[in-house]
Amino acid sequence: MPGIREYDAPGSAPGHSPGRGPGRDPVNEVVRWSAFGCAVVPAVLLLCGSPLSGAAGAALGLGAVTAASHSFLRYYERAAARLGGGAASPHRGRHGRTGIGTHRGGRRS
């Protein structure tokens, strides 16, 4: 078929990579790369002559950091969605009032 390469995903536009769309979840992308790092770092440590216990400790430490980062990213993603998609709440001042003298009937002379 003209215009369709054999590696294009079914139902996608020709030449469009299915993994690079606007609907891609950036949190999953970060976690995927960190999981890749959790696998690569111990392998490199072993190739460089580190003991197995050291490589295993590095893998466990990186896995713990990855899991904590994933939970923090999801938490703050939900918090941002609760605020209305990026709209920050207005700053209300030092004492929580909305303006000068609004609770006391305005400025007094």
Which pLDDT does position 40 carry in this prediction? 94
Which pLDDT does position 24 carry in this prediction? 77
Q: For residue 41, what is the DSSP state?
A: H
Which pLDDT does position 8 carry in this prediction? 47
CA 104 to each of CA 97, 99, 108: distance values in angstroms, whole numbers, following the listed order:
11, 11, 9
Which pLDDT does position 60 carry in this prediction? 95
Which pLDDT does position 77 carry in this prediction? 87
Dihedral sign, Cα of residue 55, residue 60, residue 61, residue 67: positive
Which pLDDT does position 84 carry in this prediction? 74
Show pLDDT as tens, one digit a residue, over the chain (109 residues). Answer: 555 555 444 554 555 445 555 667 888 888 899 889 889 999 999 999 999 999 999 999 999 999 999 999 899 988 888 887 545 556 666 666 665 655 556 566 5
CA distance 62 to 39: 9
Tokens, residue 95: 């004492």
Of 24, 27, 23, 6, nearest in space to 15 by CA: 6
